[in-house]
Structure 1
């Protein structure tokens, strides 16, 4: 059996690590950046922390701030056009998963123009050239897009999200600075934090998991579980630890895949614009319970990493239940909604949601094989 591990080239961590941006730009002889971000990050002066550094050092850039949550094919194509017009030779992605994913798609298409329709990037696309260089600066502690080979785009016309998996899209530099995340509202910290936990748990139990990825995922579960509550409260140490925990999770799941939580969450974003972290967080404990019998003794390790005491003495069944309950309690403590109805899901859409979830690329990695009928039943079980 052969296993593959791909990580980004250079990463910086810790409060204030954004200061490394200028040296990285200069030593790589980059000339002009297209800064990919969203209007809120401009409005609330989060992106300014980056552009001010560029200004102070005479580094050229142009801003593309039209990224929306759940970025669409149209947004990507607009970004490609602006990159071509700008004279830029690299990208700086500032934001959560949406700006990061948009930058990846732009960078890939610029150097692989045969994929300009965007849809052809779905799955494992046979691109030939690496993306335009990307410097990724996350502002949320959740997606770990700065270290993954994945990105997700929404096809508005067909009401579906599609996952792109491409080693050519990984950023060359990641700057994981908790000060860039400090201004996130508590609700966003909660949702993106449980998104990161979902990455860690699904990556740990997915069919492709192996010893090295397990190491990353268990450590990520530990760090996230001990830090998320403090992060949501605004405790600086909690924010900094969450920034690290979500990155560690990304190192793992990017290389082994995910599962049914993501498969069922993606259609919610496509149908309703549901924030990805919220969708994952609501679904996670329910899908964990569904998968429990197909995970050997791994839930015991999850429970232990989440701080549950006495796991060694528990039966396998009790340990599995303890892991599920620990996730439920964390969700409750950080204010995650309990049902799909609370986040705007319509009961009459569930059949279509189930079909889309079954077709999602992430679903194939689930430890338990599933079908459309069972997915429909799962959606209904989480509805109320």
Structure 2
């Protein structure tokens, strides 16, 4: 059996790694970066202090594109490509959470396309394998794993649809993974991005497209993330927990980039598109119910995940371990104050009215087909109703 494994050419991991950004660029002969970031990273001084100033000290003059939004849109990508094409840049540097990194990757893909192309032209099942420029990612949250994946998720503003875009064009050339950048991340974002990374690892492991190599990264990610998620939520300055979470998030990204995500992500994207719920939070809302839905169709896998997470012992049988996994995911949501869609403030009538549309969009993404138990539209609709309250 032949397995294809894709990853960035360089992963620089550790506290203070961001200070070596100029060295990373030099390794690849790059010197004219367009930094893609968000308004908060600029207003807080983070991008200047952590990245721009050290780059200038090394003789590199970065240009900033900071108009990214929490759920990257096709219109923002088009604006970014216009900036990109107006200069003589030789790379894109995505600095921030998943949104700036996804934006940078999508900009590289769209900039390589013929004039008049739209981001929807690259929606799966299309393969986005070409990029105009290499992308280097610097994550500031321990969650999305975008720094290590061949995916980007972009919202089609005309259709209110989050589009999964996949291909080698979205795979970063390099990633600088510095946990010290996460010390100031607020508890809510810490929790949401942390559950996002746990979801990546779990879905990669139980996916129908899992393989031996992705399994190794998924299991290691779960071993790193599960014991530390509550700690970083309660103790944001805990360096060991932050470092472990950051590494776990990157490993989870490598896992699902080379396997796939499944039903949680398929159902999560429409929630984000229609109700603007942060991606990690919508994953968390769904994770216990969706896990219970597919539990018995991949019980040995879910049981092994429970053992990797430390919530079941090696001596316990698969049924007991699987049950403990669902209990732990429910408890994790409680301990990290994850609201239901109802408690998040989503109107019941609007939610119910959009359920058929969300179910169809979830199925169209392809992710539910990777789930151990592949649902039909009616089953997805029932799950949306179940998690609302």
TM-score, length-scaled by structure 1: 0.96
Aligned-pair distance for 1:309?
4.2
Match of 2:370 among 365, 368, 380: 365
1:105–1:18: structure 2 CA closer, same or farther, 3 Å change rule? same
8 Å contact from structure 1 (residues 131, 169) kept in 2: no
Which position in structure 2 is the counterpart of 1:156? 157
Which position in structure 2 is the counterpart of 1:24? 24
Which position in structure 1 is the counterpart of 2:207? 206
Residue 376 in 1 paired to residue 381 in 2? yes
For 1:137, what is the secondary structure of its paired residue?
A: strand
Alignment map for 1:274-313 (pairs within 5 Å): 274-313=277-316
8 Å contact from structure 2 (residues 110, 131) kept in 1: no
Q: Distance in 2 between matches of 1:137 and 1:171?
A: 10
Q: Distance in 2 between matches of 1:151 and 1:76?
A: 12
Which position in structure 1 is the counterpart of 2:171? 170
**After superposition, what is the alpha-carbon deviation per residue over 1:261-306, rounded to whole angstroms, capped at 9, x for unaligned?**
0000000111011100000011001100000011031122111122
Which position in structure 1 is the counterpart of 2:40? 40
For 1:341, what is the secondary structure of its paired residue?
A: coil
Runs of 4+ aligned structure 1 residues displaced above 6 Å come to none
- The CA RMSD over aligned residues, in Å, is 1.5
Q: Distance in 2 between matches of 1:218 and 1:178?
A: 21
8 Å contact from structure 2 (residues 268, 283) kept in 1: yes
8 Å contact from structure 2 (residues 299, 319) kept in 1: no
For 2:228, what is the secondary structure of its paired residue?
A: helix
8 Å contact from structure 1 (residues 64, 79) kept in 2: yes
1:133–1:76: structure 2 CA closer, same or farther, 3 Å change rule? same
Aligned-pair distance for 1:32?
1.4
Q: Distance in 1 between matches of 2:193 and 2:116?
A: 30
Which position in structure 2 is the counterpart of 1:119? 120
For 1:379, what is the secondary structure of its paired residue?
A: helix
8 Å contact from structure 2 (residues 303, 319) kept in 1: no
Structure 1 stretches lacking a partner, 5+ long = none
Match of 2:333 among 324, 331, 334: 331
8 Å contact from structure 2 (residues 111, 131) kept in 1: no
8 Å contact from structure 1 (residues 203, 258) kept in 2: yes
Structure 2 stretches lacking a partner, 5+ long = none
**After superposition, what is the alpha-carbon deviation per residue over 1:304-334, rounded to whole angstroms, capped at 9, x for unaligned?**
12212435233x3222111111112222222
Match of 1:351 among 348, 352, 356: 356
Q: Distance in 1 between matches of 2:131 and 2:159?
A: 28
Which position in structure 1 is the counterpart of 2:341? 340
Aligned-pair distance for 1:351?
2.2
Q: Distance in 2 between matches of 1:87 and 1:223?
A: 41
Which position in structure 2 is the counterpart of 1:10? 10
